[in-house]
Amino acid sequence: MNTQKGRVNRHRTFQTLVPAAPARFIEVYAKLTEYNGAGPASICGRGCSFFGEPLGRPFGGGQRTTRHMNIAKKPLWTEASAAPGTIGKSVIDCIGNTPLLRLERVGPNYPNVEFYGKAEWFNPGGSVKDRPALEMIREAESSGQLKPGQTILDATSGNTGIAYAMIAAALGYRVKLCLPASASEERKKILKAFGAELVFTPGDEGSDGAILRAREIIAAEPGKYFYPDQYGNPGNWRAHYKTTANEIWEQTAGRITHFIAGLGTSGTFVGVTRRLKELNPAIRCISLQPDASFHGLEGWKHMATAIVPGIYDAKLADANLEVGTEEAYRLVKRAAREEGLLLSPSAAAALEGCFQVAASLGPDERAVIVTIFPDSGTKYLSERFWDEV
Ligand SMILES: Cc1ncc(COP(=O)(O)O)c(C=O)c1O
């Protein structure tokens, strides 16, 4: 009704401004409208007043030319052509389907090997963790474990927290997070921006200290919170089983020979490996860990000295390799300068793991190695290694 009124008004405006539009102008107008089928609105932008008149409509006053009548046959502006809520995407819809990047220059020593990294920073929360956070929240909603009005509480070194905070804001839940005080400043600021309540635990206790604190808070007030427990929740690895693994399979046209990923909660490695092994049992799946209990690979766990996540299955990996923090830092810089890729330390560590695997192959062995780049370097720019290594 209003739209109709607006249209009538625009006709009037046009008539007032151009009482008798010169023939040449009408000709040009007609050409423009034919040109891209979108009409002058798209040529001069929506700000243009009378040019904004939808195509195929006669100029006011009934000056219809044959040309205009022809145009009028193909409606280019249809009202209600899409139902409300079907145009555009929600932030939730943008999770997953990340690009698979081909690394062109950092692996010249291995001419028979193709290296690929799944650029998980393309998720709206900036990391791989959007996937499991969404899956755990959706599963909990379906099972009734998460009810409207409850607060989501978990322990996280940062990325999962950002994912919870973003998704919860989009879905209307509150979030409380326990995280080591040593987590990067960038992460803390992002969490606060999404409105999350933060509980800091001692930095030297790492993610384990945060897990213990989360459990204490739940025990004190059990009904108040939904505790996804990303370390013990099968929804974590299921997210990767359902999405990440199938994307890798499709993006490599089934050519993948090796899958390599770092272990944190282990959700990525466990979920992707389970699915890839179903698709082709010959794919070698190799897990990576830091080479020491005290390390700089945010998001990774040194399993021998950490609380082992409930969802971790040590039998899944064909091999398990160790990566040093210093090597990862060096590769962060190389990837930025040689590939134009701003990787996080854990993404660079995953790439370092790919090089270890490539080095173990026979001289003529061909391989298509895929790893996960969990996030980009943007949240680590204030770290000292940029000036040191
Ligand atoms: C930066 C980063 N790298 C790697 C990982 C490990 O992924 P997952 O927890 O699925 O094992 C995480 C997990 O938090 C992470 O934040």
Q: For the segment 91-139, what is each residue's pLDDT rounded down to a tens digit?
A: 999 999 999 999 989 887 899 999 999 999 999 999 999 999 999 999 9
Cβ 357 vs Cβ 258: under 8 Å: yes
Ligand 1 centroid from CA 219, angstroms: 26
pLDDT at residue 316 tops 90: yes
Q: Sheet containing 151-155: which strands, arranged edge to edge?
A: 197-201, 174-180, 151-155, 225-226
pLDDT, position 52: 31
Ligand 1 pocket residue status of 344, Cβ below 6 Å: yes
The angle, 0 to 180 degrees and rounded to 10, between the axes of the packed helices 159-171 and 185-193 is 10
Ligand 1 centroid from CA 299, angstroms: 4
Question: What's the half-sphere exposure (Cβ side, CA atoms, 13 Å) at 250?
Answer: 9
pLDDT at residue 2 tops 70: no
Out of 156, 346, 373, mutate this one to test ligand 1's pocket (max ligand atoms within 8 Å of CB): namely: 346
**330 pLDDT band (50/70/90 cuts)?**
very high
Least confident among 73-87, 170-184, 277-291: 73-87
pLDDT, position 42: 31
Distances, alpha carbon 304 to alpha carbons 93, 252, 291, 299, in Å: 38, 33, 10, 16
Distances, alpha carbon 228 to alpha carbons 132, 181, 310, 350, in Å: 10, 21, 13, 26
Ligand 1 pocket residue status of 123, Cβ below 6 Å: no
Residues 140-151: what's their mean pLDDT? 95
Residues 48-73: what's their mean pLDDT? 38
Annotated catalytic residue 129: yes
Among the listed residues 129, 188, 301, 379, the single catalytic one is 129
Ligand 1 pocket residue status of 161, Cβ below 6 Å: no
pLDDT, position 17: 40
Atom in ligand 1 nearest the alpha carbon of residue 375: 1
Nearest CA to ligand 1 atom 6: 264
pLDDT, position 156: 84
In the chain, residues under CATH classification 3.40.50.1100 are 92-125+234-388, 130-226
Ligand 1 pocket residue status of 309, Cβ below 6 Å: no
Residues 357-376: what's their mean pLDDT? 96
pLDDT, position 106: 87
Query: How many percent of the chain have pLDDT more than 70?
Result: 78
For residues 308 and 289, give the distance between their C-alpha atoms in angstroms, rounded to a whole number: 12
Residue carrying structure tokens 């804001």: 169
Ligand 1 pocket residue status of 298, Cβ below 6 Å: yes
Ligand 1 centroid from CA 284, angstroms: 20
Ligand 1 pocket residue status of 268, Cβ below 6 Å: yes
For residues 184 and 157, give the distance between their C-alpha atoms in angstroms, rounded to a whole number: 9
pLDDT, position 76: 62
Tokens of 155: 């322990």
Residues 296-324: what's their mean pLDDT? 95
Ligand 1 centroid from CA 374, angstroms: 6
CATH of 130-226, one of 3.10.129.10, 2.60.40.10, 3.30.70.360, 3.40.50.1100: 3.40.50.1100
CATH number for the domain running over 92-125+234-388: 3.40.50.1100
**364 pLDDT band (50/70/90 cuts)?**
very high
Atom in ligand 1 nearest the alpha carbon of residue 346: 3
Decide: helix, strand or coil at residue 359.
Answer: helix
Among the listed residues 127, 207, 287, 346, the single catalytic one is 346
Prediction pTM value: 0.79
Distances, alpha carbon 130 to alpha carbons 25, 123, 321, in Å: 53, 7, 26
Burial of 191 (0-12, 13-18, 19+ CB in 10 A): buried
Nearest CA to ligand 1 atom 5: 299
Residues 23-46: what's their mean pLDDT? 37
Annotated catalytic residue 266: no
pLDDT, position 50: 29
For residues 298 and 207, give the distance between their C-alpha atoms in angstroms, rounded to a whole number: 10
Least confident among 36-45, 64-73, 79-88, 94-103: 36-45
Ligand 1 pocket residue status of 230, Cβ below 6 Å: no
pLDDT at residue 307 tops 90: no
pLDDT, position 79: 63
**Which residues pair with residue 196 across a beta bridge?**
none
Residues 155-167: what's their mean pLDDT? 91
Atom in ligand 1 nearest the alpha carbon of residue 264: 11
What is the pairing mode between strands 113-119 and 100-102?
A: antiparallel
Residues 200-250: pLDDT tens digits? Answer: 999 888 878 998 999 999 999 988 999 999 999 999 999 999 999 999 999
